[in-house]
Every structure is written in C-alpha cells, then in structure tokens.
Amino acid sequence: MTMLSVNVNKIAVLRNSRGGAEPDVLAAARTCIGAGAGGITVHPRPDRRHIRPEDVRVLGALCRGTAEFNIEGNGFAPTRGDYPGLLALVEQTRPTQCTLVPDGDSQITSDHGFDLRLDAARLKPLIAELQTLGARTSLFMDAGAADIARAAELGADRVELYTGPYAAAFARGDYARELDACARAAERACGAGLGVNAGHDLSQANLGALRRAIPYLAEVSIGHALIGEALYAGLVPTVRAYLQILAA
C-alpha cells in the first residue's frame, strides 16, 4: 500500500503567524501518526517561514521508531542564523528519508524539479553524503523530465514526482495528458530501479486517479490540501479519508 506522509509545514505557518506555540506542530504530528499516517514530512527553509530547526529536532525524536521521518529541502542552501543547513539537520535527526528539492527563498512553494543535465555533478556527492548518514535519498523531479532515470546513476534511491501540473489540470477537468506524463515518468524511474514517490497539490479529489495510474507508488507527501480539509472535517477523519483512498 502507498504510504501517506503528512507534511506539517502548514501547522507551523499558522503558529508563526501569531507567535507563541499554538497550534502545536508536535501535537499535530502525533495526531496524524495516531490516525494511521505512516510518516511525517517537513520542509525547513533558511528563512524559517514555517518549520524551524527546533521543530525538525523534536519531530525527528517523535518519529523515531513510530513513523517514517522525511526531511525535504535544498542541500545547497547556505547556513543562515540558526538554520544549520540541510546536511546538519539530517545528521542531527537521522531521518528515514531526505528529499532534495531545488527551491529558493523567492519561491512561495516548490514549483519545479531538478534538471539533471545541470545539477548531476553537484548532486552525486551530496546524495552519497546523505546516504552515509543513513537517509534514503529522493530527488524532486518534473514528470516531463526526459532524464529522470538518471537519478539512479547518481545514487538516489527514489524520485518524487512533482504533481503540481497534474493537480492544476485535474482542477480544470482536463488532466489526462498530465496524468499520463506522471505514469510514464514513474515507469521510466521504476525501470531504472528507483522507488517512486509523489507530492504537491495532491488532495482527496485528485489522489485516487494518480494512485490508480501508478499502482506501485511508494509514498505520497501531502500537506497543504490535507490541512485545509482538516479545518472542516478534523485532522483524524481527514488522515483516515486519505488512507482509504490509498487502500482502495
């Protein structure tokens, strides 16, 4: 069954907008795990806009032995203030997985994957270093990337398909082409020996079609839609609703 990893960044956004400690990121993650989520995802950034380094450390401790812990981020972003860098956070918390994403401060959210024609040389030693720290390594990739299978040559264990274009097309009601692109990318990755994850703008509405198109999907990382839906239905029922879609 495809594992659900809940991204709790949006909980941190709400907390940071007011200051203080509420809503509690740790309590939210504990609730998601209790409802059956197999993992927790965080995406710390140097600007501390949501998840902070101290959150990463306490969430890593929570997940140890109870759920997978997935840290997303840009491994090339420099240290800033109390942000020690992605490698340092991985070394401190020893997550199950580290998903490398080519994001920057100017991006509101991740909006593209790696171009391996440009990024391969510097990614390979970074992937090797992450794996010496015990982290399964995944590369955030566009579904249309012709060289997605090359991630295996760099030593990556998995790729995470950027599903933003698919979700946007689904909302328009004309998603067959984007869904096919995701399925074909997954086939190329799987053929190269890579595991396949997916994430970005996935929701209860569009997740089922993607899951059916990629039956061997290893993991989906979902945050924005899930937390938004939970405002109406509650966190536990929403997590369970996603699990039902993945199990169908």
- Residue 80 DSSP symbol: B
Strand partners, 138: 99, 158
Q: Is 72 part of the annotated catalytic residue set?
A: yes
Tell whether omega for the bond before 23 is within 30 degrees of 0, i.e. cis: yes
**Residue 138 has which token pair?**
């995944």
Location of structure tokens 């509101």: 108
* From 43, 50, 160, 229, the catalytic residue: 43
Task: Give the active site residue among 50, 160, 178, 200.
Answer: 200
112 flagged as catalytic: no
Does 43 participate in catalysis according to the annotation? yes
> What's the token pair of residue 190?
């799987």
- Which among 50, 68, 72, 178 is annotated as catalytic? 72
Kindly give, in sequence order, each residue whose CB lies less than 8 Å from that of residue 106, ignoring residues fewer than 6 positions away: none
Question: What are the Cα distances from residue 220, in Å, to 13, 21, 83, 162, 223?
Answer: 21, 28, 26, 11, 10
Q: What angle do CA 27, 20, 75 make, to 5 degrees?
A: 70
Write out the catalytic residue numbers. Answer: 43, 72, 200
